[in-house]
């Protein structure tokens, strides 16, 4: 059934994107916790950031949109591949809003440090992806 194939493919694409987003926010939380506090409070701050970021990341599930679907009919039936997309700018804004709405996190987080941490996290993920793609092409 083509609709079942599309639904399954879209769900898988969403789940994969959520995993990537979770990895991204984990990197940001680690970077911020090391730049903001001494070692005694790192774990508490990092845990609070991670909890907030996880909540926001899971909330993005409904905001991920279909960008491109590639349907195929094979001898085994229907298959679909999706590319799911979420705006990094919108995602970072949601993370910043989450920090701003939390009194403790907003008092402990410098937004300039958030911007640096998010840029570094994205650069690191992009360079790892590029490295992986280059290995596939050789």
Rounded Cα distance between 126 and 26, Å, is 15
pLDDT of residue 102: 92
Rounded Cα distance between 101 and 103, Å, is 6
Roughly how many angstroms between the first and final C-alpha of the chain, as a whole number? 37
pLDDT digit string (tens) for the chain, length 138 residues: 777 877 888 888 888 888 888 988 988 888 888 765 545 456 788 888 889 999 999 888 766 666 666 777 777 777 777 777 778 888 899 999 999 999 989 988 889 999 999 999 888 877 765 554 455 544
Q: Is the pTM of this model over 0.85?
A: no
pLDDT of residue 100: 93
Which residue is associated with the tokens 């005694």? 40
């Amino acid at each position: 059934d083509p609709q079942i194939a599309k639904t399954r493919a879209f769900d898988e694409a969403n789940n994969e994107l959520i995993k990537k987003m979770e990895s991204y926010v984990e990197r940001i939380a680690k970077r911020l916790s090391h730049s903001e506090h001494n070692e005694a409070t790192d774990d508490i701050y990092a845990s609070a950031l991670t909890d907030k970021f996880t909540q926001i990341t899971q909330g993005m599930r409904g905001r991920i949109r279909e960008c491109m679907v590639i349907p195929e009919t094979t001898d085994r039936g229907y298959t679909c591949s999706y590319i799911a997309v979420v705006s990094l700018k919108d995602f970072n804004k949601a993370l910043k809003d989450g920090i701003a709405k939390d009194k403790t996190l907003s008092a402990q987080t410098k937004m300039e440090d958030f911007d640096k941490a998010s840029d570094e996290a994205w650069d690191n993920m992009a360079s790892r992806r590029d490295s992986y793609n280059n290995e596939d092409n050789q």
